[in-house]
Chain A
Amino acid sequence: MVDDEKRNDILKRLSDGVVYYDEEKVIVASNEAVEDGLDPFDAIMNGLAAGMEIVGQLYEKQEYFVPEILMCADALYGGLNILRPHLKAKEMKEAVKGQVVIGVVQGDVHDIGKNLVKMMFDVAGFTVHDLGADVPLEKFAEEQVRTDSNIIALSAMMTTTMMGMKKVIHMIKERNPDVAIMVGGAPLTKEVADIFGADGYAENAGNAVQEAIKMISRLREMHAKQQLGATP
C-alpha cells in the first residue's frame, strides 16, 4: 500500500509529466505507481486526467496551443498504456460504464479534435467506438443502435462540413431521444450547437477536453441516480 505522501508524489509527477509533455516522466511515475500498488484508477483520474485538465486551462489562457496539447496527449497515453491493464474488475465498475460512438462527419478528414476527445473518454474508462474521419452520416445512427451507446460525439473542422451534424442529430434523436450528443470543431459556436439540438458543445481542442470531462461527470450523476432509483 502507499501512504498519502507517496501517493501525492506520484500523482503530482503524473500530472506534471502530462502538463509539461514529459512522456518519460509519466512512464517512470506510472511504473512506480504499479510497483507500489497505487490504485491505478486513482492514478489515471487524479494524476493523468488532472494534468490534462490543467492543459485545457492553459489552452484557454492561450499559453498552450494545439501542438502543445498533442504532445501532452502523447505523454498521457504513455501513462495510460501502463496503468490501464492493472485496473481490476472492481475499479472498472467504479468507472463510468459507458459507451461512446465518435467520429468526424462526412466530407471532413480533420481528426485532431476528435482524437483528443476520444482520449478523455479512454481515460474515463469508456468503451470507445471510433468510426474515424469522413464518416457517412447514417453510420453514426447505425453504430449507436448496434452498440447501444449512450453518447455520440461528432466533430467537424470546416464550415462546409458541419451542416452534416444537424442531420445526424436529428436521425439519432428520432430513434432514441436519451442519447447524449456532443458536437465540436472550429466552425461551431454554442448557438449553432443549440440550433442543431446538441447536448454538449466544444468550441476547440482545449475545451473539448473540458467539455468531455463535464459530460462524463453529468453521466456519472445520472448513473448514480439510476442506481439509487434501482435500490429497493
Chain B
Amino acid sequence: MGGNGLNSREKVLKLLNHEEVDFIPCFSGMGNIVMDGLKKYGLQFNEVHQDARKMALAAKATPELFGYDCAIVPFDFNVCAEALGSKVQYYKTEDILYPSIPEKIIKSFEDIKLPSDPENAGRFPVVMEAIRILKKETGNDVAVGSWVLGPFTLAGQVTDLTKLLKDTFKKPNEVIQFLTPLRDLLIAEAKLYQKAGADFITVREMGTPVDLLSPRVWKSMIQPFMIKMREEIGSPVVLHICGKTNEIIHFMHECGYDAVSVEHQNDVAMSRQKIGPPPKNLLLGNLNTYKVMVEGTAENVANEVRAAIDGGVDAIWPGCDIWPGTPAENMKAMVETTREYGSKKKKGG
C-alpha cells in the first residue's frame, strides 16, 4: 500500500505541500462528526458547538473510529457571524440541528462592527482551544484542520441575501465595500486558527457557485477577495465551493490556493483537464455526502470513491460536511476503498 510508514498527518501535509506521492489520502477541510463518534464520547449533537473539549472530542472520534486522515473544527457556519454580533440560535432538541441565525442584524455597510479583540470575540477562543486540544491529543497522527467562510457567504449569514444578490448587478461597488471588512475579519479568524496550531485552513465560499452567480460576476467580484485571502492566510490553504463549479474551476484555480475542492455536481475529470496535473495543481473531491454516503450502501460508496479517483482527484474528500447520520459501514468503505484503490491507481494499476 502507498504511503509506506507515513501517518495520516504526514500524508495530508505531503500532498498539500505539492510533493510527489504514491497514495491518495481520505480527508476534508469541512465538518467530519458522526453519531458513532459522539456515542463513543457520550456526547449529544447539540452540545459540541460551544464547548472546546466536547468539540475536540467529537472531531477526533472520526479518525479514531475509521482511520480518516484528519480532524476538523468547527461544525456550524455561524462562528464568524457571531463575532460580528449576530445572535446564534442553539437548538436543544435531540435532532441533528445545526445552529442558525434567525435575524439578519446588519442592514448596511455602516452597521458592520468588527470586534476590537478578535482573539476573544464570540466563539473564536472556543475553536482555538479545540484546535489546541486536538493538536495535543491527536496532532502527531492526524492532520488537524479548520476552516473559515468566504466574505460573500458570510454576508449571506449576516445580511439580507436577496438585496446583496441584486446589488451585485445594481451597485457592485457597494457590495465590494460591504465585503471588504468581512474579508479582513475572516483572514484574522484563519490566522487565529493557525496560531492555535491548525495544520491547514479551508476557505469555504459556498454561496458563490454557478447556481447562484454568473462566472463573469465570480471573476470580477469574488475572485479578488479569494486572491487576497489566499495571500494573507498562506499555505497550506484550500479553496472550496459547493454546487455547480465546472464553469468557474479555472477562476478558482487562478487564485493560487494549494488545492481546489469541489462537490458531486462537479465533473472532476473535466476540472482536472482545466487546472492541469498534480502535484502542482491539486483537486480534492467529490463524494456526495447525502445520496451516496447516507442513503447508499457500502458498495455504492466504494463505487463513488473509485469513480472520483478515476476522474483524477488527489484526495477523496467529501464534498460537504459529513452528515452525522452517515452509517459506520459507509465511513469504513470510504476510507478503505481510498487506501486500496488509491495506491493501486498511483502505481499505474
- The reply to whether A71 and B166 form a contact with Cβ atoms under 8 Å apart is yes
From 103 to 117 in chain A, residues with beta carbon under 8 angstroms from any chain B beta carbon are: 106-112, 115
- The reply to whether B290 and A70 form a contact with Cβ atoms under 8 Å apart is no
Scoring B89, B96, B211, B320 by chain A CB atoms within 10 A of each residue's CB, the highest score goes to B211
The 8 A CB mask of B270-297 against A (1 = contact, 0 = none) is 0000000000000000000111000100
Counting chain A residues whose Cβ lies within 8 A of the other chain, the interface size class is 20 to 34
**CB<8 Å pairs between A and B, sample of 27:** A62-B247, A65-B213, A65-B217, A66-B211, A66-B213, A67-B168, A67-B217, A70-B165, A71-B169, A107-B91, A107-B97, A109-B102, A109-B157, A158-B77, A159-B321, A160-B76, A160-B321, A164-B95, A164-B97, A186-B209, A186-B211, A189-B291, A192-B290, A192-B295, A195-B295, A204-B211, A205-B211
- The reply to whether A159 and B290 form a contact with Cβ atoms under 8 Å apart is yes
B102's contact among A110, A134, A186, by CB below 8 Å, is which?
A134
The 8 A CB mask of A84-100 against B (1 = contact, 0 = none) is 00000000000000000
CB distance from B287 to the nearest CB of A (A): 12
B212's contact among A66, A158, A161, by CB below 8 Å, is which?
A66
Within 8 Å CB of A159, what residues of B?
Answer: 242, 289-290, 320-321, 323
Within 8 Å CB of B99, what residues of A?
Answer: 107
Q: Does A162 contact B (CB under 8 A)?
A: yes
The dominant DSSP class at the A interface is helix
Question: Using a CB–CB distance below 8 Å, which chain B residues touch chain A?
Answer: 76-77, 89, 91, 95-102, 104, 156-157, 161-162, 165-166, 168-170, 209-214, 217, 242-243, 247, 289-291, 295, 320-321, 323, 325
Q: Does A37 contact B (CB under 8 A)?
A: no
A112's contact among B89, B161, B295, by CB below 8 Å, is which?
B161
Scoring A62, A74, A108 by chain B CB atoms within 10 A of each residue's CB, the highest score goes to A62
Within 8 Å CB of A67, what residues of B?
Answer: 165-166, 168-169, 213, 217
Question: Could you tell me the distance between the alpha carbons of A90 and B44 in the complex, rounded to whole angstroms?
Answer: 57
The dominant DSSP class at the B interface is loop
Within 8 Å CB of A161, what residues of B?
Answer: 97-98, 100
18 further A-B contacts with Cβ under 8 Å, apart from A62-B214, A110-B156, are A67-B169, A71-B166, A106-B97, A107-B100, A109-B100, A109-B157, A112-B162, A160-B76, A160-B98, A160-B321, A161-B98, A164-B95, A186-B242, A189-B291, A191-B291, A195-B291, A195-B295, A205-B211
